[in-house]
Structure 1
Amino acid sequence: MRGFATIGLALAMAACAPAPVAEVPADPAPVSEPQSVANPRHIDPAACEASGGYVDRRGRGQFETCVHPYADAGQSCTDNQQCDGKCVTEPDAGMTGVVGECQADDALFGCYAEVVDGAAVRAICVD
């Protein structure tokens, strides 16, 4: 009986022993630098200009983006199909008989509604 007590005591003590600590290499591999919070993506001004755009800061975060203007910017419209981009108006423009205008460029921010078949639809705010 005494042998079982000794084995039980040995097992209990082994369960209380601290867990082995993993060794840390002396020279860990370098960690890649995270992207900048201020500019999470790099904009190449030359490539942007070559594609017919220009670099501008847009949105709430004021991130640089490559903006491409539309030739029909500001023209009156009653449907998206009449514009290079979207036909947009104020979010509270009404439901029928709405005349909007073609968006200025491909970097549309702010609050707007699309105009489809003379009605304001899909109102949204883009930050």
Structure 2
Amino acid sequence: MQFWKFAAIPLAALALTACESQAEQEADLAEDQMEAQAEQSAAEAGNEEAALGMTEAQLLDAELVDADGNELGEIEQVNRNAMGTVDGLVVELEGTDRYVVVPMRNLVAHSDGDDQDVRTTRTAKQLAALPDAKMPGATETADAM
């Protein structure tokens, strides 16, 4: 009898997963891969400054905010060019499932008490106009969404 109590949880999770479309499952997998890559990269970078006077871990913990401090999105990954220099931040836009790469231009670190955020001069509308970020492992079907 006790077995069924524990088996119900995985079965319920499986049922929820079965309700998702293939594209949603691929998007979830790509998001999980991106988060794992970001965590690994931050761990490898350690306390080394990545950009804006912040470590990679601090950047990943920060929110992207506008000039008034309103949250525009959550920083999910640090983008680096071929030379290893940070050239953009992958941000999940607030209230959406969209990810965009925000170039470092016009970004500054902003402290609000104990919190560190990244401030941009861009508006939510300007961020929404940026192209979608390429997600790791995403297929063309998932990218089209």
- TM-score scaled by length of structure 1: 0.25
Q: Kindly indicate whether structure 1 or structure 2 has the higher relative contact order, using CA contacts under 8 Å at least 6 residues apart.
A: 2
Please state which structure has a larger fraction of its residues in helix: 2
- TM-score scaled by length of structure 2: 0.23
